[in-house]
DNA sequence: CTGAAAGCGCTAACAA
DNA sequence: TTGTTAGCGCTTTCAG
């Protein structure tokens, strides 16, 4: 580059990297010239030598981006200023496609890979266990000896149910998704732990339609309907709230409802807006990003599952006031 | 690598790349050994020489991913088999952050950049016009001499309104977003072109709440309410449908409704599911991807705005049958 | 304090 | 048909 601008490439390199010893004057001059010329060191050449690409790959099967985008945002946020960029690869449960993507990333010498997904209890259709670079799992299942980040659904659920109780609700039921989901169990058990004996759990689908149906069952049945409902996700919650309104039951007047996910598009559009559990996916991404990077730099990281706390986002579907 | 496996590095290189002349036997043997060793050519070293990184950057300010994700999927789909990976950079209207990301990408020698966004009539907070690599714009505004891909909202809107008319609707109104959006005008004009004199356009927000409010105005007013409604987006449409149901007006019995965007989460959850306009963002991404790549390979591409056709997705909010 | 030279992993001339 | 050599743009000994 600006070796032409007075010094040898070696000096230039040292000046720009703040290494080596030299007159401040020389260093400054080089930087000056570099800036004027808009010089950018070629990361490939640099990487060839340093064995680091300052690049990581994010693999996901969450095509819709519901979970991956916040995670991605967190990763990116944590790593931009360290100069690392991230490859996003959406592999929709297609093993072949996944392999193609992983190979492409590996060829490009990514410093690490973060595997993510749409379901905590499912694996991506690729075996990353013998990848030549560090791998961390975020919001997807990983091998036993891996480092995995997930949200603490139990804690989140507990807070949700306790909030409902704190609003004075006496008969709190749980309307949730399919029993085949691990997160359904975790959330249900946390719910059960709080309400005890009188736990009532209704399993169904992750849809608004199921929310409607569940309300129909509860209110058309002989029993006294509940006054508090903890829903497995925001879509169900929205269905529940809509169904309630349609039968003249007021929320939060007669019944308090809490959702799960804090998916803006549904939580904020519900009337009234949903009080719901946020999984802090962005923070999760941040941790995951920092962790692969640490691993890439040779640090040792204890394998295991790390559960990051969820946070209750209070809106208006429960009455009650702002969070403590 | 497997130079140790019998031949010189040059021969190995030629064998693996199917270049040069040599015995099929040698070539096969090299490939064999390479496969056994799980050898992967170092893309950085290769790129250093070829001046190509097989990497492109996708820049977007659409944090929520509503528009960018499908675009991204299209780009990725078009480019994986050409071996190119894509860096996703979410810059939330923050010029500084944008610059950091762009610089990082440039350092990494991306072969090109695709700028995308959440609004067709706004620019990203970065000047890409003098980037040292080709840039194409997808679903965001670009400089005059750039190549830009957008969806053909006019055509999409026309089809939507014609569909409504085809369902026998006589008085079709248009409930849409803020006048400050260019797409609002494009869609409104297309609507006006079809219905002519009797066009009635209601500007508001992109929300369900506005859909409710608009219905209230139309039905509580003195005039005879419409029998067909073309909405500026799916959220408004959902608000409209919900409001209609609440006042006992049936959809599609009494009124037909069409949305815009085909945002699954809202379009499919509406009761009844929305007939709506899909912008084919994935196809748009595919074109954009192929185009940057062509540019990167030195092909000349005529600058200008390319409008890709939208497609009407028929569900149940209009009655009528499957599309022709 | 600074420059010359070697070398990262690969491909492309040029020889053999 | 195959091997040798040079060099991509940078960092890093090792001399000067």
Give CA separation, B211 vs A270, B177, B214, B240, B278, in Å: 13, 10, 5, 4, 20
pLDDT band at B38 (very low <50, low <70, confident <90, very high): confident
pLDDT band at A223 (very low <50, low <70, confident <90, very high): confident
Interface contact B161, partner A, CB < 8 A: no
Q: Is the peptide bond before B252 cis (omega within 30 degrees of 0)?
A: yes
**CATH topology of B52-151+282-309 equal to that of B153-279?**
yes
Dist CA A309 CA A307 (whole Å): 6
A83–B contact, CB cutoff 8 A: yes
Q: Does A35 touch chain B (CB under 8 A)?
A: no
Q: Is the pLDDT of residue A292 over 70?
A: yes
More confident residue, B261 or B323: B261
CB A224 under 7 Å to nucleic chain D: no
What is the gyration radius of the CA atoms in chain A, in angstroms?
25
Contact A172, A226 (CB under 8 A): yes
Encode pLDDT of B271-307 as tens digits. Answer: 999 999 999 999 999 999 999 999 999 999 999 999 9
Best CA proximity match to B281, nearest among B84, B111, B120, B102: B120
Whether B322 has a pLDDT exceeding 50, the answer reads no
Domain boundaries of chain A, sorted by first residue: 2-41, 52-151+282-309, 153-279
The CATH classification number of A52-151+282-309 equals 3.40.50.2300
The nucleotide lying nearest A17 (C-alpha to C1') is D11
Percent of chain B with pLDDT over 90: 82
Length of chain A: 324
In chain B, residues with a C-beta closer than 8 Å to the C-beta of A53 are: 44, 108
* Residue A172 confidence (pLDDT) above 70: yes
Say which residue, A90 or B5, is predicted with more confidence: A90
pLDDT at A324 over 50: no
Contacts (Cβ under 8 Å, ≥6 apart) of B283: B74, B308
Q: CA A111, CA A53: separation in Å to the nearest integer?
A: 6
Split at pLDDT 50, 70, 90, the class of B5 is low
Residues 6+ apart with CB under 8 A from B100: A80, A81
Residues A316, A256: Cα–Cα separation, whole Å: 9
Average pLDDT of chain A, as a whole number: 94
Confidence (pLDDT) at A322 = 46
The whole-number Å distance from A133's CA to D13's C1' is 28
Mutate to test the interface with A, among B107, B109, B243 (most CBs of A within 10 A): B107
Nucleotides of C under 7 A from a protein CB: 1-5, 7-13
Residues 95-154 of A with CB under 8 A from B: 97, 100-101, 103-109
Q: How, if at all, do strands B147-151 and A112-116 pair?
A: unpaired
Q: Which residue is nearest to nucleotide D9 (CA to C1')?
A: A45
- CB-CB contact of A170 with A209 (8 Å): no
Task: Please state which of the ranges B113-122, B221-230, B255-264, B315-324 shows the lowest mean pLDDT.
Answer: B315-324
Question: Taking residues A137-159, what's their average pLDDT?
Answer: 97
Q: Is B238 exposed, middle or buried (0-12, 13-18, 19+ CB in 10 A)?
A: buried
The alpha carbon dihedral of A232, A237, A239, A243 has a sign of positive
Residue whose pair of structure tokens reads 């709230």 in the numeric block: A241
Q: Is the pLDDT of residue A320 over 90?
A: no
Q: In this complex, is the C-beta atom of B59 within 8 Å of any C-beta atom belonging to chain A?
A: no
CA dist A315 and A323 (Å) reads 10
Q: Identify the CATH class of A153-279.
A: alpha beta
pLDDT at position B109 over 90: yes
> Measured between beta carbons, which residues in chain B are less than 8 angstroms from residue A206?
none
This prediction's pTM: 0.94
Any strand D atom closer than 7 Å to A166 CB: no
CA distance B89 to A72: 9
> Which residues lie below 8 Å from residue B108, measured CB to CB, with a gap of 6+?
A43, A44, A53, A54, A55, A85, B53, B55, B87
Query: Residue A262 has what pLDDT?
Result: 97
pLDDT at B324: 42
More confident call, A221 vs B292: B292
Helices A281-296 and A68-79, packing angle to 10 deg: 50
Q: With a CB-CB cutoff of 8 Å, which residues 62-81 of chain B face chain A?
A: 63-65, 69, 72-73, 76, 80-81
- Strands ordered across the beta sheet of A256-260: A201-203, A172-176, A228-231, A256-260, A275-278, A311-313
**Residues contacting residue A158 through CB under 8 Å, at least 6 positions apart:** A190, A193, A194
Backbone angles phi, psi at A180, to 5 degrees: -75, -10
How would residue B65 be classed by pLDDT, with cut points 50, 70 and 90? Answer: confident
Cα separation of B81 and B78, whole Å? 7
Mean predicted confidence (pLDDT) in B258-267:
96
Q: How far is B72 from chain A (nearest CA, A)?
A: 9
B234-250 tens-digit pLDDT: 999 999 999 999 999 99
A269, A236, A272, A267: which is closest to A256 by C-alpha?
Answer: A272
Q: Answer yes or no: do A53 and B69 touch at CB < 8 A.
A: no
Token pair for residue B106? 């440039």
Count Cβ atoms below 10 Å from residue A207 Cβ, excluding itself. Answer: 17
Q: For B6, list phi and psi in degrees, rounded to 5.
A: 115, -35
CB B210 within 8 Å of CB B239: yes
Buried b or exposed e, range A245-280, using 16+ CB within 10 angstroms: beeebebbeebbbbbbbbbebbbbbbbbbbbbbbbb
- Give the pLDDT confidence of A31-66 residue by residue, as tens digits: 888 888 888 899 999 999 999 999 999 999 998 888
| Residue A47 neighbours by CB under 8 Å, 6+ apart | A53, A54, A109, B44
Of these ranges, A1-15, B22-36, B279-293, the one predicted with the greatest mean pLDDT is B279-293
């Amino acid at each position: 580059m600006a070796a032409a601008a007075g010094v040898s490439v070696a000096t230039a390199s040292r000046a720009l990297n703040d290494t080596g010893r030299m007159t401040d004057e020389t260093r400054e001059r080089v930087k000056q010239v570099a800036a004027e010329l808009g010089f950018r060191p070629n990361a490939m050449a640099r990487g060839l030598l340093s064995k680091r690409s300052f690049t990581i790959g994010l693999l996901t099967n969450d095509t819709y981006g519901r979970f991956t985008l916040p995670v991605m945002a967190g990763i990116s946020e944590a790593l931009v200023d360290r100069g690392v960029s991230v490859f996003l690869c959406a592999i929709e449960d297609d093993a072949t496609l996944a392999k193609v993507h992983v190979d492409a990333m590996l060829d490009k010498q990514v410093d690490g890979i973060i595997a993510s997904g749409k379901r905590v209890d499912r694996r991506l259709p690729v075996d990353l266990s013998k990848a030549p670079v560090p791998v961390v799992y975020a919001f997807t299942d990983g091998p036993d000896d891996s480092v995995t980040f997930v949200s603490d659904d139990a804690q989140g659920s507990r807070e949700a149910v306790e909030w409902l109780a704190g609003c004075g609700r006496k008969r709190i039921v749980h309307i949730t998704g399919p029993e085949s989901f691990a997160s359904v169990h975790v959330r249900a058990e946390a719910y059960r732990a709080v309400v005890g004996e009188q736990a009532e759990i209704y399993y169904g689908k992750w849809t608004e339609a199921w929310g409607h149906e569940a309300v129909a069952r509860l209110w058309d049945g002989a029993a006294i309907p509940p006054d508090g409902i903890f829903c497995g996700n925001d879509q169900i919650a929205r269905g529940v709230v809509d169904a309630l309104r349609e039968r003249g039951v007021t929320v939060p007047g007669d019944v308090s409802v809490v959702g799960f996910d804090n998916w803006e598009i549904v939580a904020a559009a519900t009337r009234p807006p949903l009080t719901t559990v946020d999984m802090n996916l962005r923070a999760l991404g941040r941790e995951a990003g920092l962790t692969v990077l640490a691993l890439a730099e040779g640090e040792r990281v204890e394998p295991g599952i790390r559960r990051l706390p969820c946070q209750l986002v209070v809106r208006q579907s429960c009455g009650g006031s702002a969070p403590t």
